[in-house]
Amino acid sequence: MRLAGVVLAAGTGSRLAPYTDHIPKPLLPVLDRPLLGDLLDQLAAAGAQELFVNLAHHAEQVASYLTAHRHRVPVRHRVEPRLTGPAGALAVFAGELAAYDAVLVVSGDIVVGGALDGLVRAHGDQRAELTFGVTRARRARRYGVLEIDHDGRVLSAVEKPDVPDEEEHWISTGAYCLAPTLVSVIADLLLAGAPSVDYARDLAPALLAEGRRVTGHHLAGYWRDIGTPASLVAANLDAVNGRIPRLSTGRPGLRSPASADGPAVFVHPTAELAAGVEFGGPAVVGAGARIGAGAWLCDSVVLPGAVVPAGAVLHGGLLGTTGLGTTGPGTAGNGAAANRTAGNASRDG
């Protein structure tokens, strides 16, 4: 089976502002790995023979990243002239995708711990036209919510429904496998006046109304949507604590959580730590970051290039270099105004 892979990398990442004011969300890192680079590797490992990336927000940065790095299979990118939603984005590659038997699509803001080839196999075994990668979750109102029968067939799909936070539902993970013929269905929805096309809100209901086969495949193992500063912190701390072995195994700069010397910490080889820096808990220090003398960090992520001043305290925060001011109760004192911190970042999802 000829398989194409698509990473959706055009979104503005508004919930991650101001970090995404100057860096596109797909280039935000987990440890030392941008989300986009990891997803491209995941698609190639699942059997994709060619990869496609749509661009819009900070398109030049994403394009520069794609051209500067070697990839396991060929990668093409194209700027969307108008954002048309996560399903609508496929129309920009309609001609190329038509040559394939199936298309594996991932949102550019997710972290998955397991292999995606299971989703591709399930799609083929079920002879579905659209297969959602799904997981069980509470606080489901932030996602596409699916009703799935015992055979894996999707009975209904609703985007961001008003369901109680304590209820657990099947949700869309932002990973999909579909028949390339659906690109023409997406194009028809756009031509009919839809400003954008989403998988759960638009495409699945349109297919179900015609009696076409839509299925769900459980993505077992780790999954996280990197939609907020809190979730970016959580993914990094999960990785540093070994909960995403694919991302943390063998990483230079990673101090094992089993070490008798203290908590699990990742310090990029190009980061600078001055004398007397202490880690009160897990932390991630990105490439080119500088930590001043006597600073104290716990449950925090310092993004590439950020500076923690001497004597500062950063607890439960995300520190970057995107502008002035602070949000949340986390602190990076003693002149940290050139950085951005989102403090007290709680686990999200």
Q: Report pLDDT for 340.
A: 46
Q: Per the domain annotation, does 8 fall within a domain?
A: yes
pLDDT at residue 216 greater than cutoff 60: yes
Mean pLDDT of the chain: 90
Q: Tell me which residue range forms the domain holding 198.
A: 3-225
Confidence category of residue 257, pLDDT binned at 50, 70, 90: low
322 and 174 together in one domain: no
Which phi-psi region, left, alpha or beta, contains residue 250 (left: φ > 0; alpha: ψ -120 to 50)? left
Assign residue 196 the CATH number of its domain: 3.90.550.10
Last residue of a domain, one of 225, 258, 274: 225
190 and 292 together in one domain: no
Q: Report pLDDT for 322.
A: 53
Kindly report whether the peptide bond that precedes residue 329 is cis, defined as omega within 30 degrees of 0: no
pLDDT in tens, 331-344: 343 333 334 444 43
Q: Per the domain annotation, does 212 fall within a domain?
A: yes
115 and 263 together in one domain: no
39 and 150 together in one domain: yes
Contact 103, 130 (CB under 8 A): no
237 and 287 together in one domain: yes
Number of domains composing the chain: 2
Contact 96, 78 (CB under 8 A): no
Q: What mean pLDDT is predicted for residues 271-295?
A: 96
198 and 314 together in one domain: no
Q: Per the domain annotation, does 61 fall within a domain?
A: yes
pLDDT in tens, 12-35: 999 999 999 988 999 999 999 999
219 and 237 together in one domain: no
pLDDT in tens, 31-60: 999 999 999 999 999 999 999 999 999 999
* pTM to 2 decimal places: 0.90
pLDDT in tens, 64-74: 999 998 898 99
pLDDT at residue 212 greater than cutoff 80: yes
Task: Tell me the C-alpha distance between 43 and 104, whole Å.
Answer: 7
Instruction: List, as one string, the DSSP characters of 73-122.
Output: S-EEEEE-SS--HHHHGGGGGHHHHTTSSEEEEEETTEEE-S-SHHHHHH
Q: Report pLDDT for 331.
A: 36
Of 259-268, 313-322, 331-340, minimum mean pLDDT range = 331-340
pLDDT at residue 329 greater than cutoff 60: no
Confidence category of residue 260, pLDDT binned at 50, 70, 90: low
pLDDT in tens, 128-170: 999 999 999 999 999 999 999 999 999 999 999 999 999 999 9
Please give the structure tokens belonging to residue 337: 């105004």
What does each C-alpha distance from 242 to 85, 113, 245, 259, 303 come to in angstroms?
34, 11, 5, 13, 19
Q: Report pLDDT for 326.
A: 32
pLDDT in tens, 59-105: 999 999 999 988 989 999 999 999 999 999 999 999 999 999 999 99
Task: Tell me the C-alpha distance between 225 and 206, whole Å.
Answer: 26
For the chain, give the percent of residues with pLDDT over 90: 82
pLDDT in tens, 168-208: 999 999 999 999 999 999 999 999 999 999 999 999 999 99
Q: What mean pLDDT is predicted for residues 223-233?
A: 96
Confidence category of residue 251, pLDDT binned at 50, 70, 90: confident
Q: Per the domain annotation, does 56 fall within a domain?
A: yes
